[in-house]
Every structure is written in structure tokens, then in C-alpha cells.
Chain A
């Protein structure tokens, strides 16, 4: 077990000691959303090129 892994496990243990405030399937209804948060910075890569194949049948090229 690496040091990172032991920290990761420790963190997970602490976070899951009690039942979460927001369960795994929690969704705030969109009609109650007042803020969208922070606008994320553009990615530092070349512009995305639309890939017809990956959006045809809902599957992507791995």
C-alpha cells in the first residue's frame, strides 16, 4: 500500500463514517437552481472536433 493510498483510504473512511447529507442519488430539481457556480476556464488544448461516430449510437470510440 502506498502512502497516497493509505491517505485515500483514511479520507474515505472519515467521509463515510456517518450517513451523507446528500445521498448518491441526490439531484436538486433544476427548477430550484438559482446559481450555476463558477464558469470553468477553457481547456488548454486544441478546439474539439465533432466526432460523428461517437454520437451516433450513444457509444464512443475507446
Chain B
């Protein structure tokens, strides 16, 4: 640390924390940070807040620590700090040691993501941060929020995503009263659909294959399947799991860009088509340019005609 004054402040802060004077330490740090912010010494304020939050997390003072993280994000915003290795890693360090049971966890993560949207190049936030955030959210029990970030993360999250859905399938299977109560396709479909939605064919294949391999090799259940190869494509055929076959073919069809095939696929599996009607409608629009027909509003049309199309 180059700034001696800052180092001394942190030293005093650390001593107060060691002595158990958490509230006093927190308030003092906030007061000193306010001074730095007013003087627009943002670098000093950031360093103080990041180190302070770190020490408070280690002292198991989650409430005070997250308060400092929120303040840190405020200073990032004021100072217009862009997403880069340094600014991100500071937050990653804090997130990685934060207790997953911390009540403010979800809000902290939303704050971090909002900052990365505002000052990064991704509309939905930074993929590297998503990887870390999804891990923490999963630990904290926020599985759907974690899933959203996993899908929009780096390739490092693929395995996490597969393990998460596979574990959930095993848990659901254990809890189901009868054989067949737990549908493997409910889990597999999330991988295929979520990645197809964002045109990530590569991850859909990687994650999909990892998941199906687990299913096939699962000792508790005998699964019959065999590989079918056409050109450079190889899919697993499941005689007893029609929905899995459908989802594999769906991925292949979206890749092909063949509109007639997509329509044919839906017609060949009418029951499954109705289960995934919204998802298929979206994919039809995005991959094949099939426009969805909006429901006709007769009253609006009539009024529009009377008023010369002004509505």
C-alpha cells in the first residue's frame, strides 16, 4: 500500500475488529471513507472499503461487511469504474469469502451484476462474475437465480450446471413415491433450451452430453440407449425416453436451420410440442423466422378502423 495514512487507518480498523468493537470499527471506516469520497479520492475510498469489508467478513460480521460492499459499489458508480481484471477481482475476492447464508447475499449479487452491466460490455452482466455469483447463489439455496447466471457464464460453469441439475434429479428421484414420477427430461430440457435461447450450440452439446452420460451410467437405474451416427453428428437414442429423443433432435434441427424439419418435428411429437409450446414458439421465431400470430382484438380493430387507424 503506497498511502501511509490509509495503511494506518486500516491497522486501527483491524485492531478494533480484533478487540470485538465491530460497530465502532464499521462506523469509523464509513466516516473516513466519506471524507475520501467528498475529496474525490476514489482510489483510496475503494481500497479502504474493500479491505474493510474483507476484514469484517472474516470476523463473521456479514451485515456490516455487506453494507461496506454496497458502499463500494456506490463508489464504483461515482468514480465510473469500468469492468476490468482489477475491479472485478476485488469483488470476486469479497464474494468468494462471503457466507452463502448471509441475508444480503442476493442483493449484493444483484448490485455487483448491475454494476457490471452499467460499466461492462455485456447487456446481462459479466460472464466471469456470473460464474462466481452462480456458485455462491447455489450454495445459498437460490437455485433458479444461480441457473440464470450459470447459463450466461464462462465455460467453467458448464460442469457446475450439469452437476447441479443431475444432483437435483437424484434428489427428486429419491423423494418420488413411484417410478416415473420424476421425469429426467424436465432436467435435461433446461440445458438444451437455455443454451439454445442464447445460440450457444457448443455448450448445449457439451453440457447435454455430460448430463446424458451421467444418466446412462447411473447405477441405480438401468437405461437402455445406443449411439446413432450420421455424418459428423452422433446422438444417443433412448427407446424408453421419447422426450429425451425429442430434445436431442430439437438441438440438431435448430442447428440445421431447416424450417420444414422444425415444423415436422413438432408434428411428430404433438404431446411434447404442447408441453414446450412457448419455448418452441420462441425458437421458431429466432432460428427459423416463424412469426408468432398475435391474438386478434376485434374491438381494437373496429375502433382503429373508425378512427382512421389512430389507435
Report whether B253 and A40 are in contact in the complex, using a CB–CB cutoff of 8 Å.
Answer: no
Report whether B122 and A31 are in contact in the complex, using a CB–CB cutoff of 8 Å.
Answer: yes
Interface size on B, residues (CB 8 A): 73
Report whether B200 and A4 are in contact in the complex, using a CB–CB cutoff of 8 Å.
Answer: no
Q: Which residues of B contact A13 (CB under 8 A)?
A: 230
Closest CB of chain A to B148's CB: distance in Å? 8
Chain A residue, CB-CB nearest to B217: A62
The B-contacting residues of A in range 34-49, CB under 8 angstroms, are 34-38, 40, 42-49
Report whether B198 and A37 are in contact in the complex, using a CB–CB cutoff of 8 Å.
Answer: yes
Q: Which residues of A contact B219 (CB under 8 A)?
A: 62
Q: Which residues of B contact A59 (CB under 8 A)?
A: 163
Instruction: Report the Cα distance A5→B148, complex, angstroms.
Output: 34
Q: Which residues of B contact A62 (CB under 8 A)?
A: 214, 217-219
Report whether A24 and B175 are in contact in the complex, using a CB–CB cutoff of 8 Å.
Answer: no
Report whether A15 and B197 are in contact in the complex, using a CB–CB cutoff of 8 Å.
Answer: no
Q: 27 A-B Cβ contacts within 8 A?
A: A4-B239, A9-B230, A11-B265, A14-B258, A14-B261, A15-B255, A18-B258, A21-B256, A22-B199, A22-B255, A24-B201, A24-B232, A26-B202, A31-B122, A33-B198, A36-B197, A37-B286, A40-B190, A43-B186, A45-B168, A48-B167, A50-B138, A51-B163, A55-B135, A55-B160, A58-B160, A62-B214
| Residues of A that sit less than 8 Å from B by CB | 2, 4-5, 7-9, 11-16, 18, 20-28, 30-31, 33-38, 40, 42-51, 54-55, 58-62
